[in-house]
Amino acid sequence: MKQKMMTVLLCFLFLFTINSVAAENIAKTAPKAVLTEQVFTFKPVVEGTTVTHDFILQNKGTTPLVIEKIRTG
């Protein structure tokens, strides 16, 4: 009985260790979106005037960053 418990415990520890290493590898190879500024406040403008502002988004990760949807706030 003790040998079975020891075997189960060792298997559990082995699987836990493998899972931890795999999670670290996934985190290292993930894309990472970084904005230079997260908020921009426009100065007052005349009604009907079109205003624009560019937000710079950089991928600081090691895999391609895929942007599927953008929402304004």
- Dist CA 66 CA 57 (whole Å): 12
**pLDDT value of position 51:** 92
- Over the stretch 7-31, which tens digit does the pLDDT of each residue have? 877 767 767 777 666 666 566 788 9
Contacts of 31 (CB under 8 A, 6+ apart): 59, 61, 62, 63, 64, 65, 66
pTM reported for the whole predicted model: 0.48
| pLDDT recorded at residue 27 | 60
Domain boundaries, the chain: 2-59
What the block records as the tokens of 13 is 């520890």
What residues contact 65, with CB distance under 8 A and at least 6 apart? 31, 32, 33, 59
